[in-house]
């Protein structure tokens, strides 16, 4: 049987010019983390230290260890790297074993009978990128850094939310594999289900040391076993499992997983084995044309979905630090917010098995981008061969995961070619179209025909339409954030919104940790350094000024209002688009997470703290949602029911004054069938007018006990004018300790009350975000991690909307 020896110990890191003593190195890891551990560089996440460590990415580095000869009982020993970042030469006692140039691939070298000093010499990714650029010519990109010339995580070179920290290192595990006669080189699992019968077809490739040895494979799944012979180096074993349980996205059913085991045999002796977990489900992408344009609807097990999505970036700029537990924690946060789809964005990586395992278990659908983002990518060698090799490896690697439902060719490159002035400058040079419309769909069709492929995001389906046409396929809505007001989300109904978002700073405790000793202000040096978007603060303030008076000289108030505006902006989009299901079939918020402490579009900041947007997503992505929208000169209440059961009940509609007086009231019936949206017209006499009135819509049972969010917990509010024009009373409320938290009782209208628990203690977390209370209502906010509960401290950490002075 194949034996594995992990190579995790005894590594050192040195400058290849020989200066300085070697440093202890952690493998998997990277140069930055080793230098940090040795105290030779400051933490680049703090202050403006990022600039002080820029030199690291422009140097060459060497990892070394002693390699012992493999056990003599085996015929072959391979040195296997699951990931090398990025351009390296591998040597054993000074003799070259090979050269590599792709972070997204694994590598294997025959070291049978060899021992000695193993060295992995990394060249600067800058040097490689600049050399390739010199060979193939300039290509445009969204950023000045040369990320499109090297097959490496693009956001290592910085992004509009990320630092420029160009890494190098053995970033995934390395090991020795000892084997005889033959080993399993690749297993390509095709998993289908029809009529309750699950079918698993395992296409097996083997590598041999002895050509004449007869080989068989035996596989098992769900209590069913089958055997097949290996003809030369290939074989296929097929299994049929009756009465399989279907794997469903979260919210639609359970996520049963089946263990698949495959053993390579010589006679009855086991030579190697392969084990994975699979799930049985069908997936289709409906892009049928209709009267409105071209749809983009995911269909799982025959069920048409409105995708409640988030975009995922690498959770750390140093990916080797992301543990299985951290993946699980972050993805549990996503599931806890009602998310059912996670898009792995194209400027990052193909994530580790730990990521996809967690998605399988949590019922999170995965939309996987191929790693191309925001640039024209040359199609000449050496890049073209690397692109196909990495695609083939990763398509097969990720195929077992039922959570993976869509392959996507790139992020924004088809759009960039058409709209970002690339086309004239390219003058016919290659720019990536051959990858997205040629190489990648061919690889997916050949290797993984069970999943749909789309050429890009955004993409209208063909060049017959503009790539970002909202009526066709996927759409990225960035004009609103960049230039207009978030109310403009309500002007259009795209078929599928794959990116949109609004910025806010991270949590207060995150800022305090990242900017030690700094007097915080929107334009303080550290705050500006941790704002990477072009004119980011300007867009934040202009976006706020349309709704609130921008506070001058009050950072705490500015910080709170920016959080409110982010949540309000995203809510404006999701409420509008969900109300137009099935015309719109999904929203994918930019973005779930951050890779360091930064002002960004994320719902969870770089320290893992949940912004108010996160809690707002829990409301917006719940199975049932109430929202008010303007329609034909009046108001319509949309009851969005994405659950499997009909929603019948009574509504309570109240036209109220800001002082708390009920001006008019009605109780219309609510009836929304499963997976539908019902529209209920608001009677004219209930439509609020002017700065002193608003509409409250509650599902039957909401607020009946005086506890905000009791009963069904569904409420929609409509104010006819922006907040800066609303005649809010000065908020009055009482605060008392409650078991596990605090209770707030409103004496007046209290709009968007927020407990910033991290101001009480950096480890404290609140269980809810923004909440609006009517006079007499109360809310209990759970707080965990608060070591010394005190009502006065709680009051100091409570913020709400105040009247414009």
Interstrand relation of 283-286 and 269-278 (parallel, antiparallel or unpaired): unpaired
Bridge partners of residue 123, in order along the sequence: 87
Q: Is the pTM of this model over 0.75?
A: yes
Spatial separation of the C-alpha atoms in residues 778 and 745, rounded to whole Å: 4
Cα–Cα distances (Å) from 553 to 520, 521, 558, 612, 676, in that order, read: 10, 8, 9, 23, 47
Place of tokens 């390219």: 426
Tokens of 149: 């010339």
pLDDT attached to residue 73: 86
Q: What is the DSSP string of 391-427?
A: HHHHHHHHTT-TTEEEEE--BSHHHHHHHSSHHHHHT
* Residue 726 scores a pLDDT above 80: yes
* Residue 395 scores a pLDDT above 50: yes
Tokens of 572: 């404006």
Spatial separation of the C-alpha atoms in residues 396 and 754, rounded to whole Å: 46
SS3 389: helix
Contact 554, 588 (CB under 8 A): no
Spatial separation of the C-alpha atoms in residues 541 and 565, rounded to whole Å: 10
Range 3-176 has CATH code 3.30.470.20:
no
Distance of CA 479 to the CA centre of its chain: 21
Calculate mean pLDDT across residues 721-737. 96
Q: What ranges in 223-279 are assigned the alpha helix state H?
A: none
* Residue 16 scores a pLDDT above 80: no
SS3 707: strand
Q: Where in the chain is the domain with CATH 3.20.20.80?
A: 289-620
Confidence at 705, pLDDT banded by 50, 70, 90: very low
Please tell me the CATH code under which domain 729-805 is placed: 2.60.40
pLDDT attached to residue 236: 98
Contact 401, 283 (CB under 8 A): no
Q: What is the DSSP string of 656-681?
A: EETTS-EEEEE--EEEE-TTEEEEEE
* Residue 703 scores a pLDDT above 60: no
φ, ψ for residue 620, nearest 5 deg: -65, -30
The pLDDT tens digits for 156-207 are 999 999 999 999 999 999 999 999 999 999 999 999 999 999 999 999 999 9
pLDDT attached to residue 804: 81
Please tell me the CATH code under which domain 181-278 is placed: 2.60.40.10
Q: Where in the chain is the domain with CATH 2.60.120.260?
A: 3-176
Residues carrying an active site annotation: 412
Calculate mean pLDDT across residues 211-234. 95
SS3 686: helix
What percent of the chain stands above pLDDT 70? 98
pLDDT attached to residue 709: 45
Contact 468, 415 (CB under 8 A): yes
Counts of helices then strands in the chain (DSSP H, E)? 17, 45
Spatial separation of the C-alpha atoms in residues 277 and 221, rounded to whole Å: 9
CATH architecture assignment, domain 623-727: Sandwich (2.60)
pLDDT attached to residue 19: 65
Three-state secondary structure of 212-223: CCCCEEEEEECC
Contact 402, 378 (CB under 8 A): no
CATH architecture assignment, domain 289-620: Alpha-Beta Barrel (3.20)
SS3 129: helix
Average pLDDT, the chain: 96
Q: Where in the chain is the domain with CATH 2.60.40.10?
A: 181-278, 623-727
Rounded to whole angstroms, the maximal C-alpha distance in the chain is 90
Contact 310, 339 (CB under 8 A): yes
């Amino acid at each position: 049987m194949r034996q594995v020896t992990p190579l995790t110990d005894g590594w050192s890191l040195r400058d290849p010019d020989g200066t300085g003593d070697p440093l202890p190195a952690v493998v998997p890891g990277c140069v930055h983390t080793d230098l940090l551990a040795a105290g030779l560089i400051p933490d680049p996440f703090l202050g403006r230290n990022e600039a002080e460590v820029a030199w690291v990415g422009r140097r060459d580095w060497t990892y070394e260890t002693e390699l012992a000869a493999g056990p003599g009982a085996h015929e072959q020993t391979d040195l296997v790297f699951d990931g090398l970042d990025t351009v390296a030469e591998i040597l054993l006692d000074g003799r070259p074993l090979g050269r590599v140039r792709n972070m997204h691939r694994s590598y294997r070298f025959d070291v049978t009978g060899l021992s000695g000093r193993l060295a992995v010499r990394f060249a600067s990714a800058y040097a490689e990128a600049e050399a390739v650029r010199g060979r193939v010519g300039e290509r445009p990109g969204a950023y000045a850094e040369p990320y499109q010339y090297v097959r490496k995580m693009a956001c290592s070179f910085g992004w509009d939310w990320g630092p420029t920290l160009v890494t190098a290192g053995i970033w995934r595990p390395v090991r020795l594999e000892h084997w005889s006669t033959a080993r399993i080189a690749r297993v390509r699992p095709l998993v289908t289900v029809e009529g309750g019968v699950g079918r698993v077809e395992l296409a097996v490739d083997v590598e041999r040391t002895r050509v004449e040895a007869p080989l068989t494979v035996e596989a098992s799944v769900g209590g069913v076993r089958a055997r097949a012979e290996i003809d030369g180096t290939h074989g296929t074993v097929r299994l049929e499992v009756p009465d399989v349980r279907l794997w469903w996205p979260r919210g639609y059913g359970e996520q049963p997983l089946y263990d698949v085991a495959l053993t390579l045999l010589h006679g009855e002796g086991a030579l190697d084995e392969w084990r994975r977990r699979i799930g049985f489900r069908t997936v289709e992408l409906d892009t049928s044309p209709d009267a409105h344009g071209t749809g983009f609807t995911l269909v799982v097990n025959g069920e048409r979905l409105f995708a409640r999505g988030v975009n995922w970036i690498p959770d750390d700029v140093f990916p080797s630090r992301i543990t299985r537990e951290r993946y699980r924690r972050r993805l549990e946060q996503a599931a806890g917010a009602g998310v059912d789809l996670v898009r792995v964005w194209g400027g990052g990586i193909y994530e580790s098995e730990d990521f996809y395992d967690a998605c399988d278990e949590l019922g999170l659908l995965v939309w996987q981008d191929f790693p191309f983002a925001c640039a024209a990518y040359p199609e000449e060698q050496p890049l073209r061969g690397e692109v196909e090799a990495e695609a083939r490896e990763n398509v097969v690697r990720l195929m077992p995961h039922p959570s993976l439902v869509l392959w996507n060719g790139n992020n924004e490159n088809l759009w960039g070619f058409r709209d970002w002035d690339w086309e004239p400058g390219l003058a016919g040079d290659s720019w990536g179209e051959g990858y997205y419309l040629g190489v990648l769909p061919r690889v997916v069709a050949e290797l993984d025909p069970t999943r749909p492929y789309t050429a890009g995001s955004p993409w209208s389906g063909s060049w017959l339409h503009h790539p970002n046409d909202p009526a066709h396929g996927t759409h990225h809505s960035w004009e609103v954030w960049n230039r207009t007001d978030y109310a403009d989300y309500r002007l259009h109904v795209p078929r599928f919104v794959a990116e949109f978002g609004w910025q806010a700073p991270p949590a207060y405790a995150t800022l305090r940790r990242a900017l030690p000793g700094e007097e915080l202000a929107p334009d303080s040096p550290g705050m500006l350094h941790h704002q990477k978007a072009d004119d980011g603060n300007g867009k934040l303030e202009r976006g706020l000024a349309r709704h609130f008076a921008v506070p001058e000289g009050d950072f705490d108030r500015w910080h709170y209002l920016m959080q409110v505006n982010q949540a309000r902006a995203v809510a404006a989009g999701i409420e509008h688009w969900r109300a137009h299901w099935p015309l719109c079939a999904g929203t994918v918020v930019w973005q779930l997470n951050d890779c360091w402490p930064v002002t960004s579009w994320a719902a969870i900041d770089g320290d893992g703290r949940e912004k108010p947007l996160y809690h707002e997503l829990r409301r917006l992505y719940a199975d049932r949602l109430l929202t008010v929208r303007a329609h034909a000169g009046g108001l319509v209440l949309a009851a969005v029911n994405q659950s499997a059961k009909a929603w019948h009940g009574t509504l309570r509609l109240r036209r109220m004054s800001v002082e708390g007086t009920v001006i008019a009231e009605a109780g219309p019936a609510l009836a929304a069938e499963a997976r539908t949206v019902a529209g209920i017209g608001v009677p004219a006499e209930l439509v609020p007018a002017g700065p002193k009135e608003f509409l409250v819509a509650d599902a039957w049972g909401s607020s009946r006990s005086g506890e905000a969010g009791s009963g069904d917990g569904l409420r929609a509010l409509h104010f006819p004018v922006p907040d800066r024009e609303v005649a809010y009373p000065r908020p009055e409320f009482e605060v008392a300790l409650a078991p596990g938290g605090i209770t707030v009782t409103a004496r007046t209208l209290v709009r968007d009350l927020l407990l910033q628990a991290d101001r009480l203690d950096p480890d404290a977390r609140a269980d809810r975000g923004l909440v609006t209370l009517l006079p007499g209502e109360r809310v209990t906010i759970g707080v965990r991690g608060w070591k010394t509960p005190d009502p006065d401290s709680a009051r100091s950490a409570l913020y709400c909307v105040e009247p414009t002075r």
